[in-house]
């Protein structure tokens, strides 16, 4: 059973410390706590003691996070050549790295095949076409086949992958593809199968996850001779303060039961679960505008800083860090500085009478926050610091926006 708290709420962060970091480093500012990453990794290892656990880098690739994850002994699951390079640069042993691309561009394959000449990581294919492209480049090494299990789940339609046709070899063709690889490509070592239901899977989706695991376990037994069968990660986290945390031990037990009978090692690849609650986003109030409909609160962070609300209609807990306790709460619309109607971080959010200069904190911002930040509207990306104030990524400047154009 796991022992440390299953989720870190925004209320668990010290308002005084966050205010101090905002004052020292400015806003918008991401604050990450590596110690929380270690706690989450320990909880995963405790719930899945016999599984091969890897971190899905796409959730957060900052060097500090990667080095922390690597120090816990987890592997690295990479969706691009850039993520493979980051994992190796952060110290992950090559044999603990898996490249799981979707429709990989030519330059990605060029890079990973070149890297594979000196690093023994696993390359995953989701189509026979990708296999042909690897063979054209002379790849000879460990191989995994991504399977489309026909079962999907997730917190939003845009991240439900298990039944989307662009992800993996169709389930009913997978065994034949594996047989072809073994008979026609002796230079390749087929070591695993991979599937992923989706991202942010919660209690409502566990039946779909269980069915995916059952199907992949059966397929692994049919193919035989595999080192591992990866069933993805996608474990959900509670973004709303009243939402209960995922019962990870129950998920682990159901996963083991569904996988029972397969001789290959079970592999999981969580991303969000490891890093979401290790981070908060700090932003400052720049304007307060009463309107007939609501009070509009302008802030210096927007969809270029935190894309999830605009892209997924995601809801993050937002709190004021003001020390004053006598302000009357107001229902507010919190909007960023981007010239888009979608640039709204929250609606009908109750805040104590917001004033210009107040600092607001956004919870569960460690996953897909800084990672998805952009320079749209020519806005520099924010800085990232650790909870103790050490710089993880410097704040971009206006001159950085055109650095590649010179």
CB-based contacts of 245: which residues, under 8 Å, 6+ apart? 6, 7, 237, 238
**CA 195, 198, 201, 205: dihedral to nearest 10 degrees?**
-80
CB-based contacts of 73: which residues, under 8 Å, 6+ apart? 45
DSSP string for 16-28: HHHHHHHHHH-SS
Catalytic residue among 178, 262, 332, 339: 339
Collapse the DSSP code of 217 into the 3-class scheme (helix H, G, I; strand E, B; otherwise coil) and give the result. Answer: helix
Rounded CA separation 273/270 (Å)? 6
Q: Which of 155, 233, 235 is nearest to 196 (CA)?
A: 233
DSSP string for 223-261: H-S-SEEE----B----STTSPPP-HHHHHHHHHHHHTT
| Cα 60 off chain centre by | 6
Largest CA distance in the chain: 75
Distances (CA, A) of 336 to 51, 143, 285, 369: 42, 45, 10, 15
Cβ count near 157 (within 10 Å): 10
CB-based contact 262:214 (threshold 8 Å)? no
Collapse the DSSP code of 401 into the 3-class scheme (helix H, G, I; strand E, B; otherwise coil) and give the result. Answer: helix
Rounded CA separation 62/66 (Å)? 6
DSSP string for 319-369: EE------PPEEEEEEE-SSSSTT-EEEEEEEEES--TT-EEEESS-TTTT
H/E element, 218 = helix 206-223
Rounded CA separation 318/321 (Å)? 10
144 part of the active site: no
Report residue 251 as tokens: 């998920």
Rounded CA separation 398/381 (Å)? 10
Report residue 238 as tokens: 């509670």
Residues carrying an active site annotation: 339
């Amino acid at each position: 059973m796991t022992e440390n708290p299953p989720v870190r709420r925004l209320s668990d962060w010290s308002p005084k410390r966050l205010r101090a970091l905002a004052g020292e480093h400015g806003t918008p500012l991401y604050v990450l706590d590596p110690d929380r990453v270690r706690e989450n990794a320990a909880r995963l290892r405790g719930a899945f003691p016999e599984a091969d656990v890897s971190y899905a880098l796409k959730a957060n690739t900052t060097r500090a996070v990667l080095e922390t994850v690597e120090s816990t002994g987890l592997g690295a699951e990479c969706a691009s050549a850039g993520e493979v390079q980051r994992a190796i640069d952060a110290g992950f042993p090559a044999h603990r790295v898996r490249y799981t691309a979707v429709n990989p561009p030519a330059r990605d394959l060029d890079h990973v095949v070149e890297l594979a000449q000196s690093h023994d990581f696993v390359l995953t294919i989701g189509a026979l076409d990708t296999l042909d492209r690897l063979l054209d480049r002379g790849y000879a090494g460990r191989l995994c086949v991504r399977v489309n299990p026909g079962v999907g789940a997730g917190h939003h339609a845009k991240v439900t992958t298990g039944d989307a046709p662009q992800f993996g070899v169709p389930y009913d063709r997978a065994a034949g593809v594996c047989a072809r690889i073994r008979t026609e490509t002796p230079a390749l070592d087929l070591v695993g199968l991979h599937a992923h239901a989706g991202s942010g899977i919660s209690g409502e989706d566990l039946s779909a996850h269980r069915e995916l695991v059952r199907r992949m376990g059966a397929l692994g037994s049919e193919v035989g001779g595999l080192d591992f069968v990866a069933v993805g990660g996608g474990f959900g986290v509670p973004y709303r303060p009243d939402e209960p945390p995922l019962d990870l031990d129950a998920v682990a037990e159901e996963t083991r039961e569904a996988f029972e009978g397969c001789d290959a090692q079970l592999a999981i690849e969580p991303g969000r679960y490891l890093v979401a609650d290790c981070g908060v986003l700090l932003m400052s109030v720049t304007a307060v505008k009463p309107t007939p409909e609501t009070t509009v609160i302008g802030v210096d962070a927007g969809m270029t800083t935190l894309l999830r609300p605009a892209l997924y209609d995601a809801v993050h807990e937002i709190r004021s860090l003001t020390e004053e306790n006598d302000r009357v709460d107001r229902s507010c619309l919190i909007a960023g500085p981007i010239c888009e109607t979608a640039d709204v971080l929250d609606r009908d959010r109750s805040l104590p009478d917001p004033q210009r200069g107040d600092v607001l904190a956004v919870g569960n911002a460690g996953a897909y926050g800084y990672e998805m930040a952009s320079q749209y509207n020519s806005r520099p990306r924010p800085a990232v610091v650790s909870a103790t104030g050490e710089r993880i990524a410097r704040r971009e400047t206006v001159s950085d926006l055109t650095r590649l154009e010179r």
